[in-house]
Chains A and B, each alone.
Chain A
Amino acid sequence: MESDKSDRLVSSQKSAQLDGLLERLRKGDQIALAKAISFFENDPELIFYLQGELQEILAQSKSHIVGVTGSPGAGKSTLTDAYVSILRREGKRVGIIAVDPSSPFTGGALLGDRIRMKRHFSDDGVFIRSMGSRGNVGGLNDSVFGVIMLYKLYGFDYIIIETVGAGQSEVDIAYVADTVVLVLSPSSGDEIQLMKAGIMEIADVFVVNKADMDGAELLKMNLETVLNFSEIQKPIVMSVATSGRGIDELYQQIEKHKTHLYETGEICQRASRRMKKHAETILDNRIQSILQCVDSNDVNVMVNAVLDEICKSRFGGL
Chain B
Amino acid sequence: MGSRKTRVLIAKPGLDGHDRGAKVVARGLRDAGMEVIYTGLRQTPEEIVRAAMQEDVDMIGLSILSGAHMSVCKKILEMMDQHQFHVPIFVGGIIPTDDGQQLMKMGIAAVFGPGTPISDIVGKVEEIVGQRVSE
Task: Please give the residue numbers on chain A whose beta carbons come within 8 Å of chain B beta carbons, in ascending order.
Answer: 30-31, 33-35, 37-38, 42-44, 102-103, 106-112, 114-115, 118, 121-122, 127-132, 134-135, 142, 285, 288-289
Contact-size category for B: 20 to 34
A107 touches B27 (CB 8 A): no
Main secondary structure of the interface of B (DSSP, over half): mixed
* Smallest beta-carbon distance A74→chain B, Å: 19
- Which single residue of chain B is at the shortest CB-CB distance from A117? B39
A111 touches B36 (CB 8 A): yes
Given contacts A31-B85, A128-B54, contact A114 B38 (CB under 8 A): yes
How far is it, in angstroms, between the C-alpha of A54 and the C-alpha of B64 when the chains are bound? 45
Q: Which residues of A contact B85 (CB under 8 A)?
A: 31
- Which single residue of chain B is at the shortest CB-CB distance from A126? B54
A110 touches B26 (CB 8 A): yes
Q: Which residues of A contact B38 (CB under 8 A)?
A: 110-112, 114-115
Q: Which of B1-29 contact A (CB under 8 A)?
A: 1-5, 7, 26-27, 29
A108 touches B35 (CB 8 A): yes
How far is it, in angstroms, between the C-alpha of A2 and the C-alpha of B85 when the chains are bound? 36
Complex interface bits, B44-57 against A, C-beta within 8 A gives 1, otherwise 0: 10110011011110
B1 touches A134 (CB 8 A): yes
How far is it, in angstroms, between the C-alpha of A136 and the C-alpha of B36 when the chains are bound? 18
How far is it, in angstroms, between the C-alpha of A66 and the C-alpha of B45 when the chains are bound? 31
* Smallest beta-carbon distance B124→chain A, Å: 17
How far is it, in angstroms, between the C-alpha of A287 and the C-alpha of B85 when the chains are bound? 39
B36 touches A114 (CB 8 A): no
Q: Which residues of B contact A288 (CB under 8 A)?
A: 1
- B33: interface (CB < 8 Å): yes
Q: Which residues of B contact A134 (CB under 8 A)?
A: 1, 5
How far is it, in angstroms, between the C-alpha of A33 and the C-alpha of B56 when the chains are bound? 9
Q: Which 4 A-B pairs have the closest CB atoms?
A: A115-B40, A108-B30, A121-B47, A34-B56
A122 touches B44 (CB 8 A): yes
Q: Which residues of A contact B94 (CB under 8 A)?
A: none
How far is it, in angstroms, between the C-alpha of A122 and the C-alpha of B51 when the chains are bound? 9
Given contacts A31-B53, A34-B55, A128-B54, contact A108 B32 (CB under 8 A): yes
Given contacts A108-B32, A108-B36, A114-B39, contact A42 B54 (CB under 8 A): no
Q: Which residues of B contact A34 (CB under 8 A)?
A: 53-56
* Smallest beta-carbon distance B133→chain A, Å: 11
With a 10 A CB-CB cut-off, give which of B34, B43, B84 has the most chain A CB atoms. B34
How far is it, in angstroms, between the C-alpha of A288 and the C-alpha of B36 when the chains are bound? 27
How far is it, in angstroms, between the C-alpha of A122 and the C-alpha of B45 when the chains are bound? 10
